Amino acid sequence: MLRSFAVLAEELHFARAAERLHIEQPALSQRIKRLERRMGVQLLVRDTRNVRLSPAGEGFAADTRRMLRLFDEAVEHARETAAGERGTALISYTLSVGYETLPVLLEHIEQTLPHLTFQAVEAWETDVLDAVRQRHSDIGLVRCDPQDDDLVSLLLRRERLVIAMPETHQLARRDVVHLSQVRGERFVTTPSVLAPGYQARVDGIFAEAGFQPQTVRNTVPGSRLMAVQRQTNSVALLARSAQLSRPPGIAFVPVADDFAMLEVRLVHHADAPAGICLLADVIQREAHRQGWLGPSVPR
């Protein structure tokens, strides 16, 4: 009824107002009469030739326009929230994803979905996947394919690797290095219990290189892996973006072997809301735009 009155207040003509509202003129007249009865106020002054607003109707028309504008904004906000364009998204990610992939994606989300806010939490791989399974996080960014029927897994990136080593290492000034050249080194590794998928992929890369390395277990949580390197005079096989952390005393030498690649995958619950699926699609399209997957990489 309020929208019918607002249109009639603009047109001051029942036939034109009814046409705009896509209803019959008698139906519009009945709506206005019911509104006046409910309010106990005469909103329109009618005669055989003209329709005009009463003093009460003029004030009510102005108030109605404001109410309808607020209502339309509220509806639009609700639709944006349902579509994932507004609200808060919770993103969990593993350490190495946070060097470059996550900041690039979050910047794109801010530009593409400006009304969406997000919280990003760094965690071990197992915790990220559990958070998504239990719906504590909407999206997870990890280095493995969980192959879990409860989760959707989308490939975002294939990233080349580097060897992180002390600057005093004999290979530190090389342009590139083959893994066969470091087979005798001690490698810092991530505990498999905390990142089984990631470590399984790293172990697979070593297997393709033809050796099983000596390892130094990283018992220090989070991003202190390279501190362990300095303490143990060891090296580490890392995603290329790790060099953006620029730790003192550590050199990064690119790995030349073509098979030495690590993935970044986006995971969300298989029955995630439409808004999260939209967000995942926005992220995946940006990954393609960044060229992280090359010209043609299967999902």
Q: Retrieve residue 152's tokens.
A: 């959707």
What is the rounded CA–CA span in Å between residue 209 and residue 197?
19
> pLDDT by residue (tens digit) across 59-114?
888 888 888 777 766 666 666 555 555 568 899 999 999 999 999 999 998 888 88
pTM, rounded to two decimals: 0.70
User: Which pLDDT does position 231 carry in this prediction?
Assistant: 57
Q: 177 pLDDT band (50/70/90 cuts)?
A: very high
Picking from 137, 110, 161, the residue whose alpha carbon sits closest to that of residue 264 is 161
DSSP for 89-129? EEEEE-GGGGTTHHHHHHHHHHHH-TTEEEEEEE--HHHHH
Interhelix angle 55-83/274-289, rounded to 10 degrees, is 60
Picking from 54, 51, 60, the residue whose alpha carbon sits closest to that of residue 18 is 51
What is the rounded CA–CA span in Å between residue 25 and residue 31?
10
Question: Any idea which of 184-193, 212-221, 243-252 has the lowest mean pLDDT?
Answer: 212-221
User: Which pLDDT does position 286 carry in this prediction?
Assistant: 92
What is the rounded CA–CA span in Å between residue 147 and residue 124?
17
> pLDDT by residue (tens digit) across 112-132?
888 778 889 999 999 999 999
User: Which pLDDT does position 265 carry in this prediction?
Assistant: 97
Gyration radius from the chain CA atoms: 31
What is the rounded CA–CA span in Å between residue 124 and residue 190?
10
Residue 58: beta bridge partners?
none
What is the rounded CA–CA span in Å between residue 37 and residue 44?
12
